[in-house]
A and B are shown apart, each in its own frame.
Chain A
């Protein structure tokens, strides 16, 4: 069965520093998609970044990058130059199934706290 594991319940970082949030996944499919979402205390899930299993380059979106290591089945999120507004819950998710548009399965999340 497909599974997402986020082993860090909480992470602390100072403003302007970089931080890496860990995510490992388990699937027997060759084709899959990996996502990271941010959930502030308001509750809304905000899409950050996507990596397809066949993408050769690591995905980047502004200050977010995804360190994709296929052989290790890891998809860590790197946030560069942390800001106070980055304090939130972060979820790693995987598309369940080979086809686009199917359900996502989520990890338990990591709480990131950014201090000044």
Chain B
């Protein structure tokens, strides 16, 4: 079983540019999550999908952010008109949830570190 992968691992961009990140979950995992982590803090939830449906969005996910999971496999997170405050590590995780199983462990990818100049 390969783990969660994310691409790119690092991204440097200028303020105002658009960026897109990709996440490939563990195969057969039906849930996919995006988190953001700033320096010295724990991850903060952004959004999650069950298959291709986006089930929940955090208020942190401003209008400049959009996430998709078109075929229920990989997901993309796009940030439009980046701002310096968007500089953070963007983490993707996946889990398998079925029949109300309570042990819903989320497995994380290596993250994409975004720097906005």
Contact = CB atoms under 8 A, between A and B. Distances in A.
Interface of A: 4, 31, 33, 35, 37, 42-47, 50, 52, 91, 93, 95-96, 99-109
B43 A33 contact: no
Interface in B4-48: 31, 33, 35, 40-45, 48
Contact of B42 (A43, A91, A102): A91
B105 A103 contact: no
B42 A103 contact: no
B111 A109 contact: no
B87 interface: no
B105 A96 contact: no
Given A52-B102, A104-B106, A43 B113 contact: yes
With most chain A CB atoms within 10 A of its CB, the pick from B42, B91, B93, B95 is: B42
B71 interface: no
A108 B102 contact: no
A61 B110 CA distance: 22
11 contacts: A33-B102, A37-B108, A47-B107, A50-B103, A101-B50, A101-B95, A103-B48, A104-B43, A108-B40, A108-B41, A109-B42
A107 to B, nearest CB: 6
A91 to B, nearest CB: 5
Contacts of B91: 45
B108 A45 contact: yes
Interface string B89-117: 10101010100111111111111010000
Nearest to A100: B104
B89 A43 contact: yes
A100 B102 contact: yes
Contacts of A37: 108
Nearest to A46: B108
Contacts of A101: 31, 48, 50, 95, 97, 104
Nearest to B112: A43
Given A33-B103, A37-B108, A100-B100, A45 B45 contact: no
